[in-house]
Amino acid sequence: MTDSIAATEVTLRYFAWLRERAGVSEERLALPSGVQTVGDLLRWQAGRGHPFDQAFAMPEAIRVALDHAHAKASAPIGAAREIAFFPPVTGG
């Protein structure tokens, strides 16, 4: 009966060129119920319209972290409260 539960808000964070292209570093919102996995979330972002359509035009170039841990496209979002989007890392 998960459909009847009000969607909880999550924090979305953006870094590096993704932050610049999305024009936002952080936002809070409730994800649509159809967004179950990291891959679903990337597709949903690309469909949000300007400027997210451009920021997320190449989902294969974007990495995602769920609650501070790297997550693959197939990973379920589950109860994650903070979801981050960023390019492949370039530290060191």
Partner 1 sequence: MAVRVSAEDFDASAEMEKLCAGDTRIGGIAMFVGKVRGDVQGEALTSMTLEHYPGMTEAELARIEAEARERFRLSGSLIVHRVGELTPGDNIVLVAACAPHRQDAFRGAEFLMDYLKTRAPFWKKETLANGTSRWVDARESDEAAASAWQERST
Give the footprint of partner 1 on this chain (CB under 8 A).
13, 15-17, 65, 68-70, 84, 86-92
Cβ at position 76, least distance to partner 1 in Å: 19
Closer residue to partner 1 in complex, CB, 42/84: 84
Give every strand in the sheet of 82-86, ordered side by side.
26-30, 9-14, 82-86, 63-66, 69-71
- Output the smallest distance, CB 44 to partner 1, in A: 21
CB of 32 to partner 1, least distance (A): 25
Nearer to partner 1 among residue 49 and residue 92 (C-beta): 92
DSSP labels, the chain: -GGGSPPPEEEEEE-HHHHHHHT-SEEEEEPPTT--BHHHHHHHHHTS-TTHHHHTS-GGG-EEEETTEEE-TTSB-TT-SEEEEEPSP---
C-beta of 48 vs 81, nearer to partner 1 = 81
Instruction: State the nearest-atom distance from the C-beta of 1 to partner 1, in Å.
Output: 33
